[in-house]
Structure formats: structure tokens, C-alpha cells
């Protein structure tokens, strides 16, 4: 069974469970993103929500990318990690007043606004501070992302964004306001999108929207296509870097840019997913009547994606090269959804073996919880271990 490369002896000595990050792979991914985006002068803002581990953030900040934040806490973490304020954008359907203030006080580059109600409050707070808030309107483009229902966002019935039918009305309100300035339009249609035709549809829809805006005499400086590029959860060893080349090329081929316009992206998962693995030890191998269970010391408290989205993560037994057997791999949490995988093929597994749950760098550590009074997972890095 082909496995990832891990410094096994060093990892074995650490208390489990913990996240292990391959910093070389992260840096290689960042280089590819920069090269591919650079071909078209596209700006990339890393979606901090995917992984806000301070070390990971500082490596990404060091590569020159911007940050896409969805909370005041993420803005603070990004500034601390070294992202310059003028490369920070702030999105989210429910920005609290203090979060808007944090954005304004730090002169971030853009507020991605999702409703007229929010626009009014940003304007009000900006008036009080004597500042003008740069705004991009998040538009719901009604493009199907063909992904898991819980991570689809671009359709009309989602809570996100301004519906196409209401855009004109929101523009009327915005153009009356003194302390907000429309600088861009923003889209995000969903996550873990592997069918690039969804991005084709998005580029075409954005051309139509630009025409509508121009009919009203509006030309924006920025077009932001959000995140969503999927990764290969099944083959992390063969395909460790997402298809950034095709992704940017698809948009470039179809998008009709106006003079001086800047294109932005907000990838999260595709930057950090493959560099991270959750490492966990086997507590017990339980022989059932029809199955064998591998019971790990990690559960959905450390990695919630399988329980929450039925997500697949490849599982490898790093300690064994014996013949493959079939197991259900589960965690110790007292809930039947605490299952990492059913009928998983693993090299013969015993108590104490070290297992890796792969492709867990995105929405893994950052979504960990303390349910059952468990401790949050630790992290370690390939270049400092
Ligand atoms: N921009 C916006 C406005 C977003 O809402 C998101 C993700 C991104 C960018 C980054 O998307 P990405 O490139 O990572 O697909 N916890 C779920 C994923 C939730 C994604 C939420 N929004 C999971 O574990 O699959």
C-alpha cells in the first residue's frame, strides 16, 4: 500500500493525536499557486478559515498571498501572522459591529458585503469613524457548484450573498451612502468543486453581471471569484497539488475583463489540505461478529469532516507492512457518527500503531472541538520536528 512520506521515528515519540504538516509541500503548493496566478496577474487571498494555525498562516503570509477573513478573530490572526492590512478582505453574512470596527481601524482592503442591512451598518460605523469603507458586493450568481449540499453556496436558496433579482435595489441604496465606496463584486459558489465547468459558468455569469452594471454606468475595479477549487482526497500521494493551472486558465479564457480591472481568488482547501495529516494511535482493535473495528485515540473532536459531511479521508497505517485487512476505523467519542471510515483497507493493525488520516490540512485542526472535555490537538511541522 503506497503511503505518504513521514518522519516515522520522530512522530512515534510524540503524544497523539496531533496534526502533522509537511511544510515543504505547503511551500511547493504556494509556489505553484503564485506561478499560475502570476501568468494572468491574478491576486490570491488565502481563505484563513481553512487553517488558522499560526505557523501555517505565517508561511502563507511569507509567500506574499493576501488573506480572506470571515471574522474579527481571523483579521487579528492574519495581521499577527504578517499579512499586510491592504491585502486583507473581510467576508461573512453576519459581521458584528466590533468586527466591522476592527476592519475599519486596520484599513483592510475590502469588505465583502452580503446584504443591504449590513451595508447600512458599515456605513453608519464608517461615518462615526470618519472613514470610507471599500465594499465589494457578494452576488449570488445562481451557479450550481455540483458539490456536497452543506458546502454549496451559490444558489438562490442559500443564506449567502445578494440575489441577482435584488442587485439593482441594493445598488440604489449603496450609491446613496456617503461612507462606503463600491470597488468590486464578489462570488463564492461552494467548496470542494472538482468539475471546472462550474467555474466556467461563473465566469460567463460574471460577464453578464458586468454588462448589467455598465448599463447603470457602474464599472468596478475588482472581480473576486472566491474559493472552492477541490482536491483529490483519494490520491494524496499521486496528486498532492490541486489543478491550479486549469482553474485559472478556465476563468481567463472566458472572462471579459475591462481596462484596469483586477481579478481576485480566495482558495483555502486547495492550498492547505494536502500538507496536513491527523496522526493518531490505535487504542484497541475490537473483533465484532462480522467486522473488526480499529478504535483510535482521535475522534470527530479532532477531525469532524467525515461525521459532518460524510467526507472521505484516506487512512494509512504507518506502523505496519503486513497483509491488508478490512476494518471500520472509529474514534472514542460517545456518538455513533464518530466514524472515520467504513471497510477501510489497512495493513494488519494492532494496538499502538500510528495511523495517518490524510488530506486533513484544511478544515481539520481549525474545526476541532473540546466536546467530551477533550484537549485540542497539538501540531508539529516537518521542518522543525
Ligand atoms: N471564500 C468564501 C467566501 C468562502 O465561504 C469559502 C469557504 C472560501 C472562500 C474558501 O473555500 P475553499 O477554497 O476552501 O473551498 N468546512 C467545509 C468547507 C466549508 C467552506 C466554507 N467556505 C469542509 O470541511 O469541507
Taking a C-beta distance cutoff of 8 angstroms, is the pair 133, 177 a contact?
Answer: no
| 161 close to ligand 1 (CB < 6 Angstrom) | no
pLDDT score recorded for residue 378:
98
> Which letter, b or e, does each residue of 212-234 get, where b requires 16 or more Cβ atoms within 10 Å of its Cβ?
ebeeeeeebebbbbbbbbbbbbe
Q: Is the CB of 191 under 6 A from ligand 1?
A: yes
pLDDT, residue 1, reads 76
Tell me, using a 6 A CB cutoff, whether residue 68 lines ligand 1: yes
* Spans of all domains in the chain: 8-18+274-381, 23-273
- The minimum-distance atom of ligand 1 relative to the CA of 112 is 3
Task: Report whether 7 contacts 382 (CB < 8 A).
Answer: yes
45 Cα–ligand 1 center, Å = 12
17, 295, 306, 325, 348 from 292: Cα distances, Å: 21, 10, 19, 9, 11
Strand ranges for 214-291 from DSSP E: 222-224, 262-265, 276-287
- pLDDT reported for residue 149: 65
Which atom of ligand 1 approaches the CA of 230 most closely?
15
The verdict on the CB of residue 198 being under 6 Å from ligand 1 is no
Instruction: Please work out whether the CB of residue 226 comes within 6 Å of at least one atom of ligand 1.
Output: yes
Domain 23-273 has CATH 3.40.50.2300: no
Query: Which atom of ligand 1 is the closest one to the Cα of 193?
Result: 15
Q: Would you tell me how many other CB atoms lie within 10 Å of the CB of residue 383?
A: 12
pTM given for the model: 0.96
Alpha carbon of 10 to ligand 1 centroid (Å): 33
pLDDT, averaged per 10 consecutive residues of the chain (385 residues), comes to 92 97 98 98 98 98 98 98 98 96 98 96 98 97 77 66 93 96 96 96 96 95 98 96 98 96 98 98 96 98 98 98 98 97 98 98 98 98 96
Q: Is the CB of 114 under 6 A from ligand 1?
A: no
* CB-ligand 1 contact for 361 (6 Å cutoff): no
For residue 327, the CA-to-ligand 1 centroid distance in Å is 31
Distance in Å, CA 294 to ligand 1 centroid: 31
Q: Is the CB of 228 under 6 A from ligand 1?
A: yes
Shortest CA distance to 352 belongs to which of 295, 290, 271? 295
Tell the residue nearest (CA) to atom 23 of ligand 1.
363
CB of 50 sitting under 6 A from ligand 1 = yes
pLDDT for residue 145? 81
Looking at residue 101, its pLDDT comes to: 98
Instruction: Using the mean position of ligand 1's atoms as its centre, give its distance from the Cα of residue 267 in Å.
Output: 8
CATH classification of 8-18+274-381, choosing from 2.40.37.10, 3.40.50.150, 3.40.50.740, 3.10.520.10? 2.40.37.10
**Ligand 1 center to residue 276 CA distance, Å?**
17
Half-sphere exposure of 249 (CA within 13 A, CB side): 6
Q: Cell 465484532, residue?
A: 288
Residue of the nearest CA to atom 22 in ligand 1? 191
Amino acid at each position: 500500500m503506497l503511503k505518504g512520506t513521514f518522519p516515522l521515528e520522530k512522530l512515534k515519540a510524540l503524544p497523539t493525536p496531533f496534526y502533522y504538516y509537511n511544510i515543504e509541500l505547503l511551500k511547493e503548493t504556494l509556489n505553484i499557486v503564485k506561478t499560475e496566478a502570476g501568468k494572468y496577474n491574478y491576486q490570491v487571498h488565502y481563505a484563513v478559515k481553512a487553517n488558522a494555525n499560526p505557523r501555517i498562516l505565517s508561511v502563507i503570509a511569507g509567500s506574499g498571498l493576501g488573506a480572506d477573513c470571515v471574522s474579527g478573530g481571523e483579521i487579528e490572526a492574519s495581521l499577527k501572522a504578517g499579512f499586510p492590512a491592504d491585502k486583507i478582505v473581510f467576508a461573512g453574512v453576519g459581521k458584528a459591529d466590533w468586527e466591522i470596527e476592527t476592519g475599519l481601524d486596520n484599513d483592510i482592503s475590502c469588505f465583502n458585503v452580503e446584504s443591504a442591512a449590513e451595508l447600512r451598518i458599515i456605513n453608519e460605523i464608517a461615518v462615526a469613524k470618519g472613514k470610507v469603507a471599500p465594499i465589494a458586493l457578494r452576488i449570488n450568481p445562481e451557479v450550481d457548484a455540483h458539490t456536497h449540499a452543506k458546502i454549496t453556496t451559490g444558489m438562490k436558496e442559500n443564506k449567502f450573498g445578494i440575489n441577482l433579482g435584488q442587485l439593482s435595489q441594493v445598488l440604489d441604496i449603496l450609491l446613496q451612502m456617503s461612507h462606503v465606496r463600491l470597488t468590486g463584486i464578489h462570488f463564492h459558489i461552494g467548496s470542494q468543486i472538482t468539475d471546472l465547468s462550474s467555474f466556467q459558468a461563473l465566469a460567463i455569469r460574471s460577464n453578464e453581471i458586468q454588462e448589467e452594471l455598465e448599463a447603470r454606468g457602474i464599472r468596478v475595479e475588482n472581480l473576486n471569484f472566491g474559493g472552492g477549487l477541490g482536491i483529490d482526497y483519494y490520491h494524496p500521494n499521486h496528486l498532492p497539488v490541486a489543478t491550479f493551472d486549469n482553474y485559472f486558465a478556465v476563468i481567463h479564457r472566458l472572462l471579459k475583463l475591462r481596462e484596469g480591472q483586477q481579478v481576485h481568488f480566495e482558495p483555502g482547501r486547495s492550498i492547505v489540505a494536502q500538507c496536513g495529516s491527523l496522526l493518531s494511535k490505535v487504542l484497541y482493535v475490537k473483533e465484532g461478529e462480522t467486522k473488526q473495528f480499529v478504535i483510535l485515540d482521535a475522534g470527530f473532536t479532532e477531525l469532524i469532516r467525515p461525521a459532518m459531511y460524510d467526507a472521505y479521508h484516506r487512512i494509512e497505517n504507518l506502523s505496519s507492512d503486513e497483509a491488508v485487512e478490512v476494518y471500520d476505523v472509529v474514534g472514542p467519542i460517545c456518538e455513533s457518527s464518530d466514524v472515520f471510515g467504513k471497510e477501510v483497507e489497512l495493513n494488519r493493525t494492532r494496538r499502538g500503531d500510528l495511523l495517518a488520516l490524510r488530506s486533513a490540512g484544511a478544515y481539520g485542526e481549525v474545526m476541532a472541538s473540546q466536546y467530551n472535555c477533550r484537549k485540542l490537538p497539538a501540531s508539529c511541522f516537518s521542518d522543525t520536528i
